[in-house]
Amino acid sequence: MTQAPPVDNWAVSHLLLDPENPRLPADLRERDQIELLRYFVVHYDLEELGWSMAEKGYFAEEPLLTTSAADADYRVVVEGNRRLATLKLLTDGDLRKAIGRPLWNELAQFAEEHVLAEVPTRLYARRQDLLEYLGFRHVSGLMQWTADAKARYVRALVVDYGYSFQRAGRVIGSRQDAIRRQFIAWQALEQAREAGVDVTPAVEHFGVFYRALQNPRIREFLRLTGWVDGTEQTLEPLGEDGTGQLHEFLGFIFGPKRVIRESRQLDDMGRVLADKAAVSILRVERDLGFALQELPADRDTLLAAVRLAYRHAAAANAEAFQFAGDDELLEQVGRLQSLVERLRDSLIPRQKQ
């Protein structure tokens, strides 16, 4: 990052919320300032910050970082949009009326003893001069963005500013392969959005969507390319029919007729999606358990279940001495012992029994 410009005070009324802020969804990029402000009010808990400013004023040690707007009398706040939104609500009665939340009138009265109409800012010549700072502060630092905001930021570095995955990783303190995967996951949603798919649920629950793509069977179902290091960077990671497959997949995991209730079922979902017959059943029945029954026996799944059972039994054994003589526990352990013996018998080859 370049040397920081000097601090100067600027009128809050002439500071603009940044429509390119990674916190904002794509459909807000062309909206007016009131719509941007309303989004921050709804999604970013400004009231706590409002109480702090009303009681203590604005900390001069935290200047807003800005670039010039098209109108030279205005500046766009690149870093500090949550603070700017709070300041606008504390200092502008018309905006409070437009937002329609009475608490802000009360907060504005409390804040009257503080000077909030002007706040310290730094003016940068280019947005690019702030990229590395934003990455440090919000992707790997203490003031972390949500998963979708991080992915938007990674995409902006790669697409808008021409960063390689390696360079983007250095900027935000992340490994190159992780940067690639975040980019591919977000770009898949962008590709589907452009094809007319409603990807809103995946954006709002991007962490779940990203977790799903870690399953190679799900990636195969979506015809997704570019996930693994060494493959060519692409702006269209969804292959032929991939947008249609993604649309169906989002219905499976997010829609009103979704078939999973928690993210740990995603691996089972991957097993089903890898089998054509099981997928057909899933489409008709909308029941993941029913579709799983169509699958042939899977050794890895059985091994995982046995290991998990062992861990649970080992944890129980560590506590068992405290309940010596408990008849109910003894009965349940007897049932478990009988089941384990049957399981072992099933695994012994018949000719060796």
Among residues 37, 27, 148, the alpha carbon closest in space to that of 86 is found at 37
Query: Are 140 and 172 within 8 A, CB to CB?
Result: yes
pLDDT at 112: 92
Q: pLDDT tens, 157-182?
A: 898 888 888 888 887 778 888 889 99
pLDDT at 141 over 60: no
Question: What ranges make up the beta strands (E) of the chain?
Answer: 7-11, 15-17, 64-68, 75-79, 118-124
| Encoded tokens for 105 | 């009138």
Domain 7-125 is of which CATH architecture?
Alpha-Beta Complex (3.90)
pLDDT at 285 over 60: yes
CB atoms < 10 A from the CB of 34, how many?
Answer: 14
Q: DSSP character for 67?
A: E
| Encoded tokens for 90 | 């504390």
Query: Between 85 and 298, where is the model more confident?
Result: 85
CB atoms < 10 A from the CB of 300, how many?
Answer: 9
What pTM does this model have? 0.67
pLDDT at 99 over 50: yes
| Encoded tokens for 143 | 């003031």
pLDDT at 137: 67
Domain chopping of the chain, boundaries: 7-125, 133-258, 299-348
Residue 353 pLDDT class (50, 70, 90 cuts): very low
Q: Are strands 118-124 and 7-11 parallel, antiparallel or unpaired?
A: antiparallel
Q: pLDDT tens, 62-72?
A: 899 999 999 99
Mean pLDDT across the stretch 312-320?
93
